[in-house]
A and B are shown apart, each in its own frame.
Chain A
Amino acid sequence: EVQLVESGGDLVQSGRSLRLSCAASGFTFKNYAMNWVRQAPGKGLEWVSSISGSGGTSIYADSVKGRFTISRDNSKNMVYLQMSGLRAEDTATYYCAKLYFDNLTGSPWGQGTLVTVSS
């Protein structure tokens, strides 16, 4: 079964840092780009960042560029989101997701992990 499980969400003060983790299983992880998507309370989905299967290419939404860093460890089937300089507007549930659909693995999402930034 294809599965993504996020962890690391917490209540943090504005300006601090936090690292989210996503554990993948059930598919050949290194073959696929992975993404982080967030959803502020009561709001819509916002794409945050993507990383290629090899980890060699990453890209960010303008709203987090320069503050967030995506990375992956293909030996552990893990993807990470290092968040620094957190702001109140970063408060959201963060989902790990494979957005490109293919018939073998679909487009799985994790259950989400909540990050709350207090000012």
Chain B
Amino acid sequence: QSALTQPASVSGSPGQSITISCTGTNSDVGSYNLVSWYQQHPGKAPKVIIYEASKRPSGVSDRFSASKSGNTASLTISGLQAEDEADYYCCSYAGSTTWVFGGGTKLTVL
């Protein structure tokens, strides 16, 4: 049950694009397409922005996109906006009804 690996922080200027990686193992990210990405603003509950590795829920901006290759999932945010400044977590199903989260990435919009 080791946490998925994410960079601790990323930053970008408004209008730019950033990518956050999430590296797991053959037991989680590599075995299942059940990878979600959550956005969490300070003091708030996490909100899902990507599910099943690359799908966007209704109402989530199309500036958010994601993919998965092997044991690594990636989240890309294009056209950065001030409101995107938040913590981002990946989450993968790990079999036998267990889940594992990434350590989280703090996005700073410069």
* Chain A positions near chain B (C-beta within 8 angstroms): 33, 35, 37, 44-47, 50, 52, 57, 59, 61-62, 95, 97, 99-101, 106-107, 109-112
* Chain B positions near chain A (C-beta within 8 angstroms): 1, 3, 34, 36, 38, 40, 45-48, 51-52, 57, 87, 89, 91, 93, 96-104
Checking A47, A57, A95, A109 against B99 with a beta-carbon cut-off of 8 angstroms, the contacting residue is: A47
Whole-angstrom CA separation of A111 from B102 in the bound complex? 20
Q: Chain A contacts of B97 at CB under 8 A?
A: 33, 50, 52, 57, 59
Asked if B1 contacts A62 (CB within 8 A), the reply is yes
Asked if B45 contacts A99 (CB within 8 A), the reply is no
Which 10 A-B residue pairs are closest in the complex by CB-CB distance? Answer: A101-B51, A44-B104, A107-B48, A47-B99, A45-B101, A109-B45, A50-B97, A44-B103, A59-B97, A99-B99
Whole-angstrom CA separation of A111 from B43 in the bound complex? 9
Quick one: which of A45, A46, A99, A111 has the most chain B CB within 10 A? Answer: A45
Q: Chain B contacts of A97 at CB under 8 A?
A: 46
**Interface SS of A by simple majority:** loop
Asked if A44 contacts B98 (CB within 8 A), the reply is no
Asked if B45 contacts A111 (CB within 8 A), the reply is yes
Q: Nearest-CB distance from B90 to chain A (Å)?
A: 10
Q: Chain A contacts of B52 at CB under 8 A?
A: 101
Whole-angstrom CA separation of A98 from B48 in the bound complex? 11
The answer to whether A44 and B1 touch (CB under 8 A), given A106-B57, A111-B45, is: no
